[in-house]
Amino acid sequence: MLGLSVPTPLLFLHPSQMRYNSDDRKCRYLTSGALSYMATHTTPSMTALQAQATANLFLSDHLPDRFTADQPWFDPQGACWHVPVILTYPGVGVLGTVGEIQVAVQTATVVTHTRCEVMRHTAQGLYDAHRDAIDTAII
């Protein structure tokens, strides 16, 4: 690729804005007509499944087994995955969302999360609201 490196974020120029100089065999950009904005599209370096696994590892270290990570969504501005935390019971299914964990794309670590006490309190409310269904499913 002629020794050119493309920094991140990428600067996209239309091919008509590049000129090949056959004398010194190098490509150079003609900036007179170039667009003056940079593309800031961030591609996650970790998958949604990896973010979900990171969140589940955090949950298994800090909360009981009924708490689990749901489907994450990617935030390109913050360069992180937002992973909802849900409360589930066998035979009943998902009772609701109790919190969120944010996983950094570059480091694959938890950068912030809903406090565990808040998730426990929210879960208790969901459990109380669905107690009959949970008890019936266990029998």
Query: Rounded to 5 degrees, what angle do the CA atoms 119, 121, 125 make?
Result: 110
The model's pTM = 0.69
**Tell me: the pLDDT tens digits for 63-108?**
999 999 999 999 999 999 999 999 999 999 999 999 999 999 999 9
DSSP 89: E
Domains of the chain: 1-41 (no CATH), 48-138 (3.10.450)
Which residues have C-beta within 8 Å of that of residue 121, sequence separation ≥ 6? none
State the pLDDT confidence band at 130, using cuts at 50, 70 and 90. very high
Across all residues in the chain, what is the average pLDDT?
Answer: 79
Contact by Cβ (8 Å): 26, 53 = no
